[in-house]
């Protein structure tokens, strides 16, 4: 099953409806439940209370189920993505505003678990990896680029600098949340998330000013 083409926050793919949406709500919970091995198509079917042929009817195969689940997570984050794409006039506003949004994800395990599921599946399947890139990673980066563009590249002369800033912000926040939530860093080495985001905003502001000197 080929992944959908890359979508920006302004042009989302149609969300599933009806019975397919009902199945995805169950399958998504199965995907992020504590487990020691990847979930097979048979296990997905058992958890959803349907037969394997039924899952094949809606999703073709296990790969199709996995990609649909990633898309389901992306659909659930569309409002968050739209808010994260709102342009900010200064770097401090861009980073601190994104930090406030990131704190929403850091308050629950779903954000980390969804990314963990997609990452694990992507390691074993390049088609799933491309779907994860197109449905989650690139839209997230493009949203941050839109947010940071007015302050990082106000003249529109250096789009790569905007992209680099978005990668730096997104990657830093993602690993911090994964560290605390997924990898049990909150137990091993707790991180003051508000303090972390405050310092992150200060560091971004300082580095951006230095780069413009």
In whole angstroms, give the CA distance from residue 197 to residue 163: 20
Whether the full predicted model's pTM is greater than 0.75, yes or no, is: yes
Tell me the CA end-to-end span of the chain in Å, nearest whole number: 49
pLDDT in tens, 169-189: 999 999 999 999 889 999 999
Is the CB of residue 88 less than 8 Å from the CB of residue 151? yes
At residue 14, the pLDDT reads 66
Long-range interactions of 50-56: CB distance < 8 A, separation 24+: 50/23, 55/23
Give percent of the chain above pLDDT 70.
89
Domain ranges of the chain: 13-76, 77-213
Residue 212: pLDDT band by 50, 70, 90 thresholds? low
Is the CB of residue 65 less than 8 Å from the CB of residue 55? yes
Cβ neighbours of residue 115 closer than 8 Å, sequence gap 6 or more:
136, 174, 178, 182
At residue 6, the pLDDT reads 37
In whole angstroms, give the CA distance from residue 4 to residue 96: 32
Closest to 74 measured CA to CA, from 121, 138, 163? 138
pLDDT in tens, 18-76: 999 999 999 999 999 866 678 999 999 999 999 999 999 999 999 999 999 999 999 99
pLDDT of residue 77 exceeding 50: yes
pLDDT of residue 5 exceeding 80: no
Joined together, the tokens standing for residue 192 give: 């003051």
Positions of E strands within the chain: none
Least confident span in 32-41, 132-141, 204-213 = 204-213
Higher pLDDT, 36 or 158: 158
Q: What is the chain's Cα-based Rg? A: 19
Classify 77 as helix, strand or coil. Answer: coil
């Amino acid at each position: 099953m080929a992944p959908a083409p890359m979508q920006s926050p302004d042009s989302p793919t149609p969300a599933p409806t009806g019975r397919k949406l009902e199945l995805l709500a169950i399958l998504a919970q199965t995907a992020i439940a504590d487990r020691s091995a990847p979930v097979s198509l048979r296990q997905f079917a058992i958890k959803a209370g349907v037969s394997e042929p039924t899952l094949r009817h809606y999703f073709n195969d296990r790969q199709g189920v996995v990609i649909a689940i990633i898309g389901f997570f992306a659909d659930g984050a569309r409002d968050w993505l739209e808010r994260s794409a709102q342009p900010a006039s200064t770097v401090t506003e861009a980073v601190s505003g994104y930090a406030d949004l990131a704190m929403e994800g850091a308050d629950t395990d779903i954000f980390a678990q969804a990314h963990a599921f997609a990452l694990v599946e992507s390691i074993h399947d390049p088609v799933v990896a491309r779907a994860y890139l197109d449905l989650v990673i690139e839209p997230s980066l493009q949203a941050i680029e839109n947010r940071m563009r007015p302050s990082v590249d106000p003249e529109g002369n250096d789009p790569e600098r905007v992209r680099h800033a978005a990668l730096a912000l997104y990657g830093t926040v993602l690993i911090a949340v994964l560290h605390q939530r997924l990898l049990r860093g909150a137990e091993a080495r707790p991180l003051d998330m508000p303090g972390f985001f405050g310092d992150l905003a200060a560091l971004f502001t300082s580095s951006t000013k230095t780069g413009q000197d």
